[in-house]
Structure 1
Amino acid sequence: MPTPKYLVRSDNGRIFAYTPQLASLPTMMESMDLEEAQMLSRKRGGNPTASRGPDPEPNDTPANEGQGENDEFVISKANKDELEAFAKEQFDVDLDKRKKVDDLRAEVMELVQANEG
């Protein structure tokens, strides 16, 4: 059986690139493709393709929306600028920001998976 490409956290719907360490957690559900992962995410209360809401108050603005707890980079929540910076810093790859944000997220997920191991 092929290795899944994505993991979806069952309690909040967050999508992660597959790693054996994350897959061993009981809260993770495996997914073979991004569309399936996004569907599972929506069912779990996540919304990986949500557009931004109204601008937050200046004091409520997070330093980096693509970062989760413990300063981890969360691909499913990152915007185009954050994805571009991450791909450039981590993999020395320039992304085409004319693409849809979901396509850029998939591209970054592929970079992460290709560089594991």
Structure 2
Amino acid sequence: MSDLEFHLQGEQAATTAAALETFFAETFGAEIRRENPPPPAVGEAEKAVDSIAVAALVLSIPGALLAAMDLAERLKLKQKVDRLITLARREWREHGTRIWLRRRNATPLALDEIEPAAVLDAAEQAREP
């Protein structure tokens, strides 16, 4: 995986995708790619919570955007990631759309339930060949 991927599930996934696209454009000055694959495999607990998901989208953040990140930038990025997590929590609470952070060779994480360090670690992992 060369990109950082967010999987969206829920009836308002398209609305949430637009909010994320705006967030990344304003915060990072980058466009993200939108795809419509089948929903990612998640654990039984997540399936039960979101059993009526209608839409699924993948938003991929280009690896080139992540390539410039180093330790100093990681500290600055934490505030931006905090805002991203806040957006994910709001979308889940207000629209019922859950955003999953997909990591290489690992179970997807619900963005509204994790700490900024997990997002930064996933971004670092996405940079690796």
TM-score with structure 1 setting the length: 0.34
> Greater helix percent: which structure?
2
> Greater strand percent: which structure?
2
